Amino acid sequence: MHPVILERRQLLQNICAPAAKAAAATAISSWLFPSPSWSKPRATVLKRLVCVGGSLTEIIYALDLQEHLIAIDTTSTYPMATKKLPNVGYARTLSLEGVLSMRPQTLLVTEDAGPPQVLRQLSHAGVQVKVLKADHRYEGLIDRIRAIGFLLGAEARAEKLIKEINHEWQRYQQDINHGVIGKNEVPGSKKPKAMFIMAHSPQQIMVAGHSTSAHAIMNYLQLDNAFKTLQGYKPLTPESVIAGQADVILLTDQGLQAQGGMKGVLRLPGLIQTPAGRYRQIYSREANHLLGFGPRLPSMLYSLAKEIHNIK
């Protein structure tokens, strides 16, 4: 757990009156992870907000609360309006000076952000560091929307957005379970095998194992991760690619571009010797759209599932 995350008990002691602790434990502490600086009334907490994490920034815009933002990070690329904001760098390699130069009162991040020592230094410098769970599940997205709605005093907006997303999610679940698989694959057949390739740099090409957002996306797409026995991201090798025999390959748009397009991807060692390579079953989406678990998750899954499973 991230070093700036409070234990539930400490959170309740800081923000709840004794009579309200039981209710707050259910309503707040399971999804909200503020820093030790949490003590001011909510209405004065999140001023001059720096948001680090594309999905968090996207949630803020989806809630129409972008007036709180003074800066973002490099993963915050949607919507286009984010390009007008100052940038503090990459989420995992934040610099103390870069963030402090924005004179923020609050830094909002997920637990994937870092380095940890920089977050500690920012907290010691008086910046309120709010850390939310990354949680690569649909439920995690809903929790983050509720957390941000609470932090920005916009619970009603958050619940309205959740209702809209839930409607899309239920539609996707119904179609993927009873339409896509039922009509387009042989009943009782195995799920197609898939491989996610992280290829943003020609010098560092990786495949995704379990405990990654890519693995979670493959599960939601009714695909069987060919590298599910691995944990995290591991270097791609010709032997492992050939042994995996993936039917489907997923990449980010950035990775596809970095490799020189489809032709460049097909030149990756061993890939042409897989069913995915032979039949050009290679699909991509913008990185944060595909892996960010933001508000567009259900619509992204729906469009990608239609492509992969050849639904008209």
Ramachandran bin of 243, using left for φ above 0, alpha for ψ from -120 to 50, beta for the remaining angles: alpha
Residue 101 has pLDDT above 70, yes or no: yes
Residue 193 has pLDDT above 50, yes or no: yes
CATH code reported for the domain at 8-153:
3.40.50.1980
- Give mean pLDDT, residues 151-168: 96
- Give mean pLDDT, residues 223-230: 96
Q: Mean pLDDT in the chain?
A: 84
**Domain locations in the chain as residue ranges:** 8-153, 186-308
CA distance between the termini of the chain? 44
Q: What pLDDT score does 27 carry?
A: 27
- Give mean pLDDT, residues 166-178: 88
Q: Is the pTM of this model over 0.75?
A: yes
Find out whether 151 and 108 touch, Cβ atoms under 8 Å: yes
Instruction: Kindly list the distances between the CA atom of residue 146 and the CA atoms of 29, 56, 95, 191, in Å, as whole numbers in the listed order.
Output: 12, 11, 28, 34
CATH fold of 186-308 reads: Rossmann fold (3.40.50)
* Length of the chain, in residues: 312
Q: What pLDDT score does 1 carry?
A: 44
The span from the CA of 72 to the CA of 57, in Å, is 7
| CA-based nearest residue to 283, from 303, 297, 299, 312 | 303
Angle at 142 between CA 308 and CA 109, to 5 degrees: 100
Q: What pLDDT score does 201 carry?
A: 74
Residue 139 has pLDDT above 50, yes or no: yes
